[in-house]
Structure formats: C-alpha cells, structure tokens
Amino acid sequence: MRAIILAGGKGTRLRPYTIALPKPLVPLGDRPILDIVLEQLRRAGVRHVTMAVSHLAHLIMAYFGDGKRWDMKIDYSLEDKPLSTIGPLKLIDDLPETFLVMNGDVLTDLDFANLHRHHRDHDAEITVATCPRDAKIDFGVLEQDETDRIVGFEEKPVYHFQVSMGVYAISRRLLDIVPENTFFGFDHLMLACIDQGRKAVCYRHDGYWLDIGRPDDFAQASEEIGELMKAICPREQGS
C-alpha cells in the first residue's frame, strides 16, 4: 500500500505549540504524532509514504528523512502555496491505482489495511473513514411552520452524525475532477462527487479517533497516550 500524509498545515489552533514546530512534530508523550502514525502504517503493510509538506517543511524532512528508521520509503511533495486537503495530490505524479490519504494529526486505532480492502471490494472512487459523533445544542430548539406558528419544541437536543475522520482511500481516476495547482479541499471534492454521481462510500469505524489539531482532543490524547499506545501501536518485543 501507498499512503499520502497531509502535513503542510500551519496548526494555528494549537498555538503556541506550533510556533516553532510543525503540527505533525508536536509530541504526544515522548513521540511526535506523525512518528506514531508511521509505525501504524508500517504495521498495516504500507511501505511507501509521501508527505505533502509546506509550513516548516525542512523540520519534517530533517526528522523523518528517507524513512529507513520505519522500514519504509518516505519522500516529499512540497507545496509552494496552500492547496488545502485534496489539491496537493495533483502534485504527485507516481500515484498507484489506489492509495491511502490521511491528515498528519489523526490518532486512531483504525485498521488501515481493512479500509484499503473495503475500498477495493466496493470498487469505489473514494472511501471516507467515518466515526460517530454527537452534537449537543445548549438551547431550546423550536420548530415553526410557514406562518411562524410554533409546532414543535425540544430542550437541548443531541444530534447524531457520522463525521469524516480525515482518512481516505482514493482511486487515482477520481483525480481527474481535481483542478491543477488550485486550492481544493475535501469539501470541494465531496460536493463534486455528489454533483457528478461519483462512487463515494463510507467506512464506519466505532473505535478510537482524535483529531489532535483540536486543542481539546490534543489535551485528551496527552492524558491518555500511555494506555492508548499499548492498544493502537504496541512496541515490538525487544525494541
């Protein structure tokens, strides 16, 4: 398997941690988040990773080098301007027929190999890993008809959603809808897929997932990292 890791963001939500460090190098315990991700990917069978980098790219490249420490090949795609989530893929000219794409700040126990198989089994153009999340509204919610008469009420309702985890399996043929050298995000891609009837499917994951680019998730991950590592990324015996 081939994986593309999106590691070019400025990490503004995690300031001041990201003033001197790129977000993927911010430590959880004694390891950068991207170090953990690479070990997980290697265990899943990934042997070639391309990092899409921009902000403080030299630090990321200096730390990870050519990937020998992780027993994989690591190379880099450098953005000279912000291209969002999907735009950077158009800069990589040697992509295989199917590949994984993920944000560089995702902490999860997702089975990456199974996501890849699910994508191929469904002959999808993009498979989006999703996780359940609840959103609580801290107000009384009114329902009204066309005359503004109140016809329903619910106090502080909780809505249930399947949200994108920032991990995808993609078929190369989907990239023909992505413009060259243009800011093009996951939101743009989803709207284009729906509009054009492209085959986009979900891969539901009910396990652990945190987006450590969010300060609350980063704080939670920092508290839980010791026990979490035993579950999602156990060290090999003797290492």
pLDDT surpassing 70 at residue 232: no
For helices 33-44 and 112-121, angle between their N-to-C axes, nearest 10 degrees: 50
pLDDT band at 19; cut points 50, 70, 90: low
DSSP state of 89: G
Please answer whether residues 227 and 152 qualify as being in contact, where contact means their C-beta atoms are separated by less than 8 angstroms. no
Cα–Cα distance, 223 to 163 (Å, whole number) = 24
The number of distinct structural domains making up the chain is 1
Inside any domain, residue 19: yes
| Predicted TM-score of the model (pTM) | 0.87
Whether the per-residue pLDDT at 234 is higher than 80: the answer is no
| C-beta atoms surrounding 225 within 10 Å | 18
* 237 has pLDDT over 90: no
DSSP code for 143: E
Residue 152 lies in a domain: no
77 occurs within a structural domain: yes
Beta bridge partners of 32: 27
Alpha-carbon span 3 to 74, nearest angstrom? 10
Contact in structure between 120 and 1 (CB atoms under 8 Å): no
Give Cα 92 distance to the centre of its chain: 18
Residue 166: CATH number of its domain: 3.90.550.10
Bigger pLDDT: 16 vs 64: 64
Residue 42 lies in a domain: yes
Using the predicted structure, report yes or no on whether residue 81 has a pLDDT greater than 60.
yes
Domain of residue 113 covers: 2-132+162-232
Residue 22, pLDDT > 70, answer: yes
Local confidence band at 235 (pLDDT 50, 70, 90 cut-offs): low
157 lies in some domain: no
Structure tokens at 169: 């399996």
Which pLDDT belongs to residue 212? 76
User: Over the stretch 180-194, which tens digit does the pLDDT of each residue have?
Assistant: 999 999 999 999 999
Residue 176: φ, ψ to 5°: -70, -10
On whether residue 142 sits in a domain, the answer given is no
In a domain, 137, yes or no: no
Tell me, yes or no, whether 140 lies in a domain: no
